[in-house]
Amino acid sequence: MTQLPHIHLCIVQPSGYVHSLGFLDQARYFRHQFRRMGAHVSLAKNRLRHDAVNFVFGAHLGFDATLRQRYSCIFVNLEQLGQGGAPVSRDYLQLLAGSAVVDYDADNVAAYSSHADDVPLVPFLYAPYVSQVEFLPLEDRPIDLLFIGSMNERRRSMISRIEAQGVKVSLFDSPLYGPERDQIIVQSKAVFNAHFYASSRFEQARVSHCLSVGTPVISERSPLARPHAAFENSVIWLEDAQLDTYFAEQFCTPAFYEQAIQGLVNFQDADPLEAYADLLAFAAGYGRTHQQSRPHEAWQPSRINLGSGKDYKPGWLNIDVLDRAQPDLVLDLGRPVTWPVQAATPYGGPVCLQAESADTVYANNVLEHVPDLPELMGNCLKLLKTGGRFIIEVPYEHAATAWQDPTHLRALNEKSWLYYTDWFWYLGWFEHRFTLDQFTYLDDKLKECGREKAAFMRVVLTKVVTTMKERTAARVMRADFALPDDLPIGDQPVAAEPLHPHAAGLAA
């Protein structure tokens, strides 16, 4: 293999969507396999890296397809696609059809590509990094049978049949993922796996993880399921007709424990190194080709998000004062800025941020933290085009949200915007100001409400050119009359020439 590319794993997570944590297992598995081959691998939420080949998990939750122009993206499809599969959007299928994709099951590919050989296939098998060095013997585990996953009528019916045989099936009462979920899995004698969709693709990502942490899996075996060979002698398989008899007569017997332990041992031999080596070679070739053809000029973003961390907005330039928030650009707009701002960034690549270049600036719960708010407002005014919008969300002064955060420096109310709209000259502004285009009260769930229930305010300010009347008022109020210096042209003062007696109508 030639020089290895930098690999970046991006997990798509709509704001606050807990189920995106379900991609952590698969992303960790990719990271483990690529690192085994010496690749440098990073992982982040919603962030793409300009300097890497990006593997994107969860793009069916929403992905801006135009980002593929600037970023090298390979999409990891983990959805069951095709007849009887997951009801994904047309946009997602179109995204896959026009992109580089890696899949876990060959039966998915026909839903988005007529060239199956162009789609790398990789399995999820044994993950040694989650394996328990010492684990509780199966017989001593307090949970008889654990079910993990979304519930529907089909799965509920199977669980009811199992419990009718005297076996207690434990379910999570809230979403759990990652190490917190694994703490429950390792206390279970077995995990029960059943198909959700009529397509009946084998849920190998979930099953492989359970086997890797040292918990047996009892799985439904439908005629349509075509599991990887590594699962054949590692999973306890049941056809539908066997379900009731098995849990009535065989579960938790010595024969069950013997078969279950042997399955765990067998699974430890499952190593997909070759498949991931091929995928890394594919990524290297794809990355080289894409990076040669993508735009090489600096990115000049038109949408600016003041904030990062959980508020990161893909496709926008995300600016923050803290590097640990993993913004595209570390910049403090609450301090004087020399325009343009040029930087080479890992996420955004080369960036050029110019005055009067932005259509939109968005600040979600930022203004209450800024030490020098007039400086930040002035920089945002300079940054926006005429007609550009500054969208602001802040806690409302009379709500508990205004001071619940110990880092709040101020509270804001309905009148907090006058200096940026009507009294702009106090801030030294002259040619442009903001106008208040929208004001809305929001409750604690960010829904529009009346003042009496307000927890936050949403304000939309628009940059406008001041009128002649407004500039006249500004000259009246300003100590310097807002006059230019009228310096002479050139480096040296120009000597005044004597007036001709007939010049300018001065002749008698």
Contact assessment for residue 452 and residue 408, using Cβ atoms and an 8 Å cutoff: no
Mean pLDDT, the chain, as a whole number? Answer: 93
Tell me what pLDDT residue 506 has.
Answer: 41
- Answer positive or negative: Cα dihedral of 33, 38, 44, 49: negative
What is the rounded CA–CA span in Å between residue 309 and residue 324? 8
| CATH number for position 457 | 3.40.50.150
Q: What is the dihedral of CA 206, 209, 213, 219, to 10 degrees?
A: 40
Q: Are residues 339 and 461 in the same domain?
A: yes
Q: Helices (DSSP H) in 122-267: which residue ranges?
A: 153-163, 178-185, 204-213, 243-249, 254-267
Taking the mean position of all CA atoms in its chain, how far away is CA 497? Answer: 68
Tell me what pLDDT residue 505 has.
Answer: 43
| Structure confidence by residue, pLDDT tens digits, 50-69 | 999 999 999 999 999 999 99
Confidence of residue 223 (pLDDT cuts 50, 70, 90): confident
pTM: 0.89
**Has residue 198 been placed in a domain?**
yes
Q: Are residues 257 and 353 in the same domain?
A: no
What is the rounded CA–CA span in Å between residue 210 and residue 226? 19
Backbone phi, then psi, for 258, in 5-degree steps?
Answer: -65, -45
69: three-class secondary structure by DSSP: helix
| Structure confidence by residue, pLDDT tens digits, 121-131 | 999 999 999 98
Q: Of residues 47 and 501, which shows the higher confidence score?
A: 47
Contact assessment for residue 214 and residue 131, using Cβ atoms and an 8 Å cutoff: yes
Contact assessment for residue 111 and residue 85, using Cβ atoms and an 8 Å cutoff: yes
Q: Are residues 330 and 422 in the same domain?
A: yes
DSSP 102-149: EES-GGGGGGT-S-GGGS-B------GGG--SS---GGG-SEEEEE-S
Task: Look at the block and give the residue holding tokens 């279970």.
Answer: 188
Q: Are residues 324 and 472 in the same domain?
A: yes
Q: Is the pLDDT of residue 500 over 90?
A: no
**Has residue 488 been placed in a domain?**
no
**Has residue 324 been placed in a domain?**
yes
Q: Is 257 exposed, middle or buried (0-12, 13-18, 19+ CB in 10 A)?
A: middle
Q: Angle formed by the axes of helices 273-293 and 24-36, to 10°?
A: 90
Cα–Cα–Cα angle for 219, 225, 226, nearest 5°?
A: 110
**Has residue 326 been placed in a domain?**
yes
| CATH number for position 205 | 3.40.50.2000
Task: Give the pair of three-digit tokens for residue 345.
Answer: 């960034």
**Has residue 106 been placed in a domain?**
yes
**Has residue 507 been placed in a domain?**
no
Q: Are residues 157 and 223 in the same domain?
A: yes
Q: Are residues 250 and 132 in the same domain?
A: yes
Lowest mean pLDDT among 248-262, 309-323, 380-394, 427-441: 309-323
**Has residue 145 been placed in a domain?**
yes
Strand partners, 205: none
Which residue type occupies 98?
A: G
Q: Are residues 151 and 252 in the same domain?
A: yes
**Residue span of the structural domain in which 21 resides:** 7-122+272-293
Q: What is the mean pLDDT of residues 468-473?
A: 95
| Structure confidence by residue, pLDDT tens digits, 246-256 | 999 999 999 99
Q: What is the mean pLDDT of residues 422-432?
A: 95
- % residues pLDDT > 70 (the chain): 96
Q: What is the mean pLDDT of residues 177-194?
A: 95
Q: What is the mean pLDDT of residues 457-470?
A: 97
Q: Are residues 252 and 141 in the same domain?
A: yes
Which residue type occupies 457?
A: M
What is the rounded CA–CA span in Å between residue 50 and residue 349? 5
| CATH number for position 115 | 3.40.50
Q: Burial code of 100-124, b = ≥16 C-beta within 10 A, e = fewer?
A: bbbbbbebbbebbbeeeeebbbbbb
What stretch of H or E contains 275?
helix 273-293
Q: Are residues 231 and 277 in the same domain?
A: no
Picking from 336, 276, 227, the residue whose alpha carbon sits closest to that of residue 39 is: 276
Number of domains present in the structure of the chain: 3
Picking from 411, 336, 402, 318, the residue whose alpha carbon sits closest to that of residue 374 is: 336
| Structure confidence by residue, pLDDT tens digits, 135-179 | 899 999 999 999 998 899 999 999 999 999 999 999 999 999 999
Task: Give the pair of three-digit tokens for residue 2.
Answer: 């030639």
What is the rounded CA–CA span in Å between residue 387 and residue 462? 6
Q: Are residues 144 and 91 in the same domain?
A: no
Tell me what pLDDT residue 507 has.
Answer: 41
- % residues pLDDT > 90 (the chain): 83
| Structure confidence by residue, pLDDT tens digits, 79-113 | 999 888 889 999 999 999 999 999 999 999 999 99
Contact assessment for residue 177 and residue 21, using Cβ atoms and an 8 Å cutoff: yes
Picking from 134, 181, 145, 135, the residue whose alpha carbon sits closest to that of residue 256 is: 145
Task: Look at the block and give the residue holding tokens 């994904």.
Answer: 88
- Answer positive or negative: Cα dihedral of 232, 150, 31, 97: positive
**Residues in Cβ contact with 309 at an 8 Å cutoff, skipping those fewer than 6 apart:** 320, 322, 325, 326
Tell me what pLDDT residue 496 has.
Answer: 54
Picking from 180, 177, 105, 189, the residue whose alpha carbon sits closest to that of residue 148 is: 177
| Structure confidence by residue, pLDDT tens digits, 303-349 | 999 988 888 999 999 999 999 999 999 999 999 999 999 999 999 99
Tell me what pLDDT residue 508 has.
Answer: 38
Q: Are residues 254 and 192 in the same domain?
A: yes
Backbone phi, then psi, for 370, in 5-degree steps?
Answer: -80, 125
First-to-last CA distance in the chain? 94
**Has residue 485 been placed in a domain?**
no
Q: Are residues 335 and 287 in the same domain?
A: no
For residue 426, give the DSSP letter. G
